[in-house]
Amino acid sequence: MQVAAIQMVSGTRLDDNLQAAHRLLEKAAREGAELAVLPEYFCIMGHRDTDKLPLAETPAGGPIQDFLSASARSLGLWIVGGTLPMQTAAPGKVRNTTLVFDPSGVQVARYDKIHLFCFDNGREQYDESRVIEAGAPAVHFDLPARDGRRWRVGLSVCYDLRFPELYRAHARAGADLLLVPSAFTYTTGRAHWELLLRARAVENLAYVLAPAQGGIHENGRHTWGHSMLVDPWGTVIASLDQGPGVVTATVDAARIDSVRAQLPALQHRVL
């Protein structure tokens, strides 16, 4: 199955970001992708954390959800919508929500980011908990590919990558493809991004597809990029350094079966 990681350098204006996302989704479709995954915060990278609050949507729908549904339907793609702000009962806060749409435009899964990024090295300060409410359960969905293979896909977002127990939960549920839409900072990405992605792939003998924000944004933030696909042996199959673009590559069920037969680590779990 062909999959695509969409890399963006999202700005402060929703309409501009949606137009940029659509151009990249069209490219993914032309390159034969069945699944395309947008990065975290694909719809907005504001000047302030609170800039996302006015864009918050409800489960009933909204412009961002309409865009994702219409794009999936018109392009015949499975689309995982990076993240968008979703309303919550907590005042002044939103959920950082991933929505999955099938090629008919129907929403089939929702995941709210569990782990909220916090970092302070004296020069850069981030604390997502100021405006984001954490989600709770792990979420996966089944994707029937055109060749008849049914893929079990585990959802996660960015900072989740540092918590292997979430991915082990996906492995226990039978996941063979793990998605990590992200907006890693340049500082933390340079140090840990590829290391963590390859570790999650090796630990769970699964493919890891990680679309990212990658570049210098209008708000001055510098994100690491390096969107990539990693195979179950920890090999980076394809990647993109910085700037907008599409990483299209193949996930191969036979490769998973071969690696798991050679090294049946998932069968040897004790804890």
Nearest to residue 104, comparing CAs of 142, 143, 77?
Answer: 77
| Interatomic CA distance for residues 85 and 96, integer angstroms | 5
* Whether 158 is catalytic: yes
Strand, coil or helix: 165: helix
Q: Which of 43, 57, 133, 158 is catalytic?
A: 158
Give the torsion through C-alpha atoms of 151, 145, 34, 153, to 10 deg.
Answer: -10
* Whether 40 is catalytic: yes
Residue 112: DSSP 8-state: E
Q: Which of 113, 128, 133, 194 is catalytic?
A: 113
Neighbours of 199 (CB within 10 A): 17
Residue 128: DSSP 8-state: G
Nearest to residue 41, comparing CAs of 96, 78, 88?
Answer: 96
DSSP E strands, the chain: 2-7, 35-37, 78-80, 84-87, 94-101, 107-112, 118-120, 125-127, 140-144, 150-155, 177-179, 207-210, 214-216, 222-224, 227-230, 236-240, 245-250
Q: Which of 40, 57, 128, 133 is catalytic?
A: 40
Residues assigned a catalytic role? 40, 113, 158
